[in-house]
Structure 1
């Protein structure tokens, strides 16, 4: 977290949280969702400002309930997720020919496990505690398939990550991903549900 954000939190600790205004889409794009986008249920406009993207990525965290947020100074802006809290790109390092995964902030992502959902999506978890879960960008499915062996059942197999390192390909239902990996895809819907209960 940036020092300026920590200072703002210390100065204004009780600023109300914000939901619905920021989305991480299925391809790792941050999108600003104004009132019209929220009302229409559309993803909103992509954020293109490089410095703002860096600020969001450096101050992106999860709370104890598994809701991901961007700490914008003293205000916590909860993030709507297109699928998972992270989106990764798969590429070949041309210097040594090995595969590399990077997340939406262009940071390395070292996979510990790989999953195939029932809609053809590929998910990775990493070695952090708790493990981060990321969906593979759909533009990288061909490269993934070049390094994967799918069993005849279409739901298992292995992914050749490094020479001598193969990760077992496990199946998961897309509808169970959020619960299984402990995150909240829509803090806005959760907040609305909590308000309706009171």
Structure 2
């Protein structure tokens, strides 16, 4: 967490949390969900505006965490902005050499590989569960064929409970 964020938390400890305004899609992109986007439906149906400002995206990534209930959030100074997830709290990219990084740029070491009924591929790491980016599924297949990963079949609906994360903090909060 950035020092400026820690200082803001210390100065203003009782700022109300924010729900429904930030989303993370299955490709690791952040979306700002204004009141109109929220009124049009849940994150999967109404995304809002994709964030494109590089420094803002990096700031969110450095201050992206979860609470004890498994709800992921961005600590924006003194305010906790809970994140609506399309699928998982992490999106994984696979480099040509097999290295895996998350959508926030953190390098991870996969400990398990999962596939669901829709053909999506997930990796489990020290950070938790991450969906393999759709552009990297072929690279994941290469890792599987090389014997580095052995996929386990799972049901997508079981993943939040199994890995302890909340897809929609705003729904849980309502």
TM-score (norm 1): 0.82
How far does residue 44 in structure 1 lie from its aligned partner after superposition? Answer: 1.1
1:177 corresponding residue in structure 2? 159
Structure 2: gaps spanning 5 or more residues: none
How far does residue 187 in structure 1 lie from its aligned partner after superposition? Answer: 0.1
Q: How does 1:8-157 map onto structure 2 within 5 Å?
A: 8-41=8-41, 42-92=46-96, 98-126=97-125, 128=126, 131-149=127-145
Contact 2:21–2:34 (CA under 8 A) maintained in structure 1 = yes
Alignment: residue pair count: 170
- Kindly indicate which of the two structures has a greater share of residues assigned to strand: 1
How far does residue 137 in structure 1 lie from its aligned partner after superposition? Answer: 0.6
- Cα RMSD of the aligned pairs, angstroms, is 1.2
Task: State the Cα deviation string for residues 84-125 of structure 1 (Å, max 9, x = none).
Answer: 000011120xxxxx3111110122121011101111111111
TM-score (norm 2): 0.93
Higher RCO by CA contacts (8 Å cutoff, separation 6 or greater): 2
